[in-house]
């Protein structure tokens, strides 16, 4: 049955209504979305875009290059970006493996287990989508490795620690010229098994937070604040436990943030934001928390996953760029649920 006013639970926007009316086939959307196999749809779309590409002149390519915000080079310089990445990598604990991620992931990677609207992600005609956050791809790899370990030993509790720096793109529309369509994120994930008494959560939360504090200290930041938000059922590490475990870190304040509005549906356990002072400028540089992705990806309710991410462009501009525009913003740079 065709959806008259809805695609799933999403109302048809006026532009889509116009396209379907012009096509003269009210069933077209349902045919493309549900009536074809993935391979058949890819075959169709590849031919459509081949024909469209054949009609594009070099002059038109140049015009698009000048006007398309997704293809412009990054405003932050390579050297500054590289130094910021090096600082983050150097601060990683030895147990983390740094991966070089692919620029694309399977279709629905950002929406099937998380809460990202697919319209904010750039889909491809080959049934994949452009990376919008490295933690999603890292979660896939970590869950794959955990599945292999569980196949050998169903009670395996060996954690998987992965990290990556990745250029990502997000497609939400904004008329703010300061907002970037693509930017660099440094992501960490730790996957493992619930070993009881919330030991996994406490141990690895502190490990991620220690990394953040060390990285900020290494780039000369001061007055780093870690703001923790706890789930309503108050399970997991407590504020006092985390404060105790992080005691002794110079210039780091750990406090509670019960009024945090963003990420409530994205994170399912303790979550956090990292703020710091660099050269007199207050910045939000990191965000993270516990999610259920590995439980869904492995089909095992005992699995646990902690993710965190850091805006590399923002760090590079603030620390290493001299006299540049330090106020350029990134859309949802560490707000993947937005």
102 shares a domain with 148: yes
73 domain-assigned: no
Nearest-angstrom CA–CA distance, 166 and 134? 6
Within a 10 A sphere around the Cβ of 257, how many other Cβ atoms? 14
Q: What is the pLDDT along the chain (338 residues), one digit of tens a residue?
A: 233 333 445 567 787 778 777 777 777 888 888 888 888 888 888 898 899 999 999 999 999 999 998 999 999 999 999 999 999 999 999 999 999 999 999 999 999 988 888 889 999 989 899 999 999 999 999 999 999 999 999 999 999 999 999 999 998 766 666 678 899 999 999 999 998 888 999 999 999 999 999 999 999 888 999 999 988 776 678 889 999 999 888 889 999 998 887 776 789 889 999 999 988 888 899 999 999 999 999 999 999 999 999 999 989 988 887 433 444 445 454 454 43
- Are 238 and 153 in a shared domain? yes
d(CA 134, CA 257): 25
Q: What is the structure's pLDDT at 293?
A: 96
334 in any annotated domain: no
163/190 same-domain check: yes
**Could you tell me if 191 and 213 lie in one domain?**
yes
pTM of the model: 0.87
Range of the domain at 195: 78-320
Looking at the structure, tell me whether residues 61 and 82 fall in a common domain: no
Q: What is the rounded CA–CA span in Å between residue 244 and residue 9?
A: 46
Q: Which pLDDT score is estimated for 4?
A: 34
Same domain as 179, residue 57: no
Residues 43 and 169 in one domain: no
| 190 and 276 fall within a common domain | yes
Is residue 225 located within the same domain as residue 253? yes
Number of separate domains in the chain: 2
pLDDT digits 0-9 by tens, 144-203: 999 999 999 999 999 999 999 999 999 876 666 667 889 999 999 999 999 888 899 999
- Identify the pLDDT of residue 338: 39
Do 21 and 103 have their domain in common? no
């Amino acid at each position: 049955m065709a959806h008259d006013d809805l695609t799933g639970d999403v109302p048809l926007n006026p532009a889509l209504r116009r396209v379907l009316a012009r096509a003269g086939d009210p069933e077209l959307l349902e045919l493309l979305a549900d009536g074809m196999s993935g391979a058949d749809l890819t075959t169709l779309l590849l031919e459509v875009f081949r024909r469209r590409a054949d009609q594009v002149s070099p002059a038109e390519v140049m015009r698009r290059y000048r006007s398309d915000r997704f293809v412009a080079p990054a405003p932050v310089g390579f050297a500054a970006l590289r130094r910021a990445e090096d600082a983050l990598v150097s601060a990683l604990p030895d147990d983390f493996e740094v991966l070089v991620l692919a620029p694309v992931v399977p279709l629905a990677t950002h929406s099937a287990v998380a809460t990202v609207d697919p319209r904010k992600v750039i889909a491809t005609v080959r049934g994949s989508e452009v990376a919008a956050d490295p933690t999603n791809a890292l979660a896939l790899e970590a869950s794959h490795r955990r599945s292999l370990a569980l196949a050998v030993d169903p009670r395996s509790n060996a954690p998987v620690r992965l990290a990556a720096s990745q250029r990502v793109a997000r497609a939400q529309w904004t008329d703010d010229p300061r907002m970037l369509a693509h930017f660099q994120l440094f992501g960490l994930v730790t996957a493992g098994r619930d070993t009881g008494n919330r030991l996994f959560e406490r141990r690895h939360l502190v490990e991620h937070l220690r990394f953040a504090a060390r990285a900020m200290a290494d780039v000369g930041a001061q007055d780093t604040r870690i703001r923790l938000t706890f789930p309503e059922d108050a399970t997991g590490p407590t504020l006092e436990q985390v404060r105790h475990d992080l005691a002794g870190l110079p210039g780091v304040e750990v406090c509670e943030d019960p009024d945090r509005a963003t990420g409530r549906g994205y994170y399912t356990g303790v979550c956090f934001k990292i703020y710091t002072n660099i050269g007199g400028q207050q910045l939000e540089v990191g965000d993270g928390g516990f999610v259920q992705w590995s439980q869904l990806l492995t089909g095992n309710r005992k699995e646990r996953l902690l993710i965190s991410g850091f805006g590399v462009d923002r760090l590079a501009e603030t620390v290493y760029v001299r006299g540049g525009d330090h106020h350029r913003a990134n859309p949802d740079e560490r707000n993947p649920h937005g």
